[in-house]
A = this chain, B = another copy of it.
Amino acid sequence: MNRKNRLYFSSDYMAGAHPAILARLTEMNMVHSAGYGTDTFSEAARAKIRAACNAPEADVYFLVGGTQTNAVMIGTMLRPYQGVIAAESGHVSVHEAGAIEFGGHKVLTLPQKDGKLTAAAIRSCLDSYWADANHEHMVMPGMVYLSQPTEFGTLYSLAELREIREVCRTGGISLYVDGARLAYALACPENDVTLPDLAALCDAFYIGGTKCGALFGEAVVIPKHDFIPHLFTMIKQNGALLAKGFVAGIQFETLFTDDLYGKIGRNAIDAADRIRRALAEKGYSFAFPSPTNQIFITLTKERAAALSEAVEMGFWENVGDSHVIMRIATSWATQADDVDRLIEML
């Protein structure tokens, strides 16, 4: 099978940008803009994001990628003696090459269920810390890191998030949500957590661009103005400040115009739902109960190899000697025709 006919469902960051974004970048290309995110496009994008989040006082910053955003935010939200609570499957725990520790902080991992933390586990972690006679010799939990959707494509419900927020509030720690794939949560019928909910419940979160239709970029939202003083300088210090901040600003302005971010999410979810239904009908086994744009199926190694001839999927992990978990991911770029062809092959 030649490359042209091959199907690509391995990830959601394999193609460029949503055409509307490229068109807007092209249209505005020769406009002279101020640097470092102080331009009018970035200001307009901030205004639209604040409106979408119902967070009129929010500070909004545009960073480049997810690991960078997590490292900057966790590093600036914690004091040196504190660590961040995360699921043992969290991106910051596993796949950021130790960026959080490189910044001086311990990731305090808790067991996960379908990629999620529970309020009870967080409370227990806090209680154990404070009850330990030696806690002053230990790393104090200072914040919680969640991802929505999680690394396994699952979702926190509003009730779960509220419960976690309450544990954080009573424990005096912050709540931060990694929304690398947030478009695919927001567009999901099972989801009941809106942007205003996130703004109401989190001390900071980010709206993912890289995996949701932008060339690059993540929009950090800090609902309470100046919650992190001098964050601009710390972004610079972390090498995370874009000189041409307007390139991110234009992208997010476009994403938050005419509900493009919603459309991008729905395209992916519609495609994923069709694939999920077909998989279920054909008796495939799902590894995680994911309702978002990532589908995890358990296959024999032979079946996985056969399918992979025609479809690029993501390898997730081995299950014993005979089976593997493979990931099928849809995105803003997924074409209906390709979904048809994939379903045929399954």
Question: A residues touching B (Cβ–Cβ < 8 Å)?
Answer: 8, 11, 13-17, 19, 22, 25-26, 28-36, 64-72, 75-76, 79-81, 83, 94-107, 133-134, 136-140, 210-211, 215-216, 229-230, 232-234, 236-244, 246-247, 312, 315, 333
Q: Which residues of B contact A136 (CB under 8 A)?
A: 97, 230, 232-233, 236
Majority-rule SS of A interface residues: loop
Decide if B247 touches A216 in the complex (CB within 8 Å): yes
Q: Which residues of B contact A134 (CB under 8 A)?
A: 95
* A239-B236 contact, Cβ under 8 Å, with A33-B15, A104-B101: no
* A76-B80 contact, Cβ under 8 Å, with A66-B243, A237-B97, A243-B13: yes
Decide if A243 touches B81 in the complex (CB within 8 Å): no
Decide if B230 touches A81 in the complex (CB within 8 Å): yes
Decide if A237 touches B31 in the complex (CB within 8 Å): no
A104 CB to closest chain B CB, in angstroms?
A: 5
Chain B minimum-CB-distance residue to A34: B14
CA–CA, A221 and B11, complex, Å: 29
CA–CA, A70 and B340, complex, Å: 47
Q: Which residues of B contact A83 (CB under 8 A)?
A: 98, 101
Partner of A98, one of B15, B105, B243: B105
* A233-B81 contact, Cβ under 8 Å, with A32-B14, A98-B106: yes
Chain B minimum-CB-distance residue to A246: B16
CA–CA, A247 and B256, complex, Å: 22
CA–CA, A11 and B32, complex, Å: 10
Decide if A243 touches B230 in the complex (CB within 8 Å): no
Decide if A97 touches B81 in the complex (CB within 8 Å): yes
Decide if B25 touches A102 in the complex (CB within 8 Å): no
A110 CB to closest chain B CB, in angstroms?
A: 13
* A139-B97 contact, Cβ under 8 Å, with A211-B243, A216-B244: yes
Given A22-B22, A83-B98, A98-B138, 12 new contacts (CB under 8 A): A14-B33, A15-B31, A16-B244, A26-B26, A70-B239, A75-B80, A81-B234, A95-B138, A136-B230, A140-B233, A216-B247, A238-B239
Decide if B11 touches A35 in the complex (CB within 8 Å): yes
Decide if A35 touches B13 in the complex (CB within 8 Å): yes
Q: Which residues of B contact A30 (CB under 8 A)?
A: 15-16, 333
Decide if A96 touches B237 in the complex (CB within 8 Å): yes
Q: Which residues of B contact A242 (CB under 8 A)?
A: 64-65, 216
Q: Which residues of B contact A237 (CB under 8 A)?
A: 80-81, 96-99, 102
A213 CB to closest chain B CB, in angstroms?
A: 11
CA–CA, A99 and B139, complex, Å: 9
Q: Which residues of B contact A13 (CB under 8 A)?
A: 35, 243-244
- 20 pairs from A and B in contact (CB 8 Å cutoff): A11-B35, A14-B35, A15-B33, A30-B333, A66-B243, A67-B236, A80-B234, A94-B138, A96-B239, A98-B104, A98-B138, A100-B101, A101-B101, A136-B232, A136-B233, A136-B236, A138-B233, A215-B215, A238-B239, A239-B239
Chain B minimum-CB-distance residue to A247: B215
Chain B minimum-CB-distance residue to A312: B32
Decide if A239 touches B32 in the complex (CB within 8 Å): no
Q: Which residues of B contact A105 (CB under 8 A)?
A: 98, 101
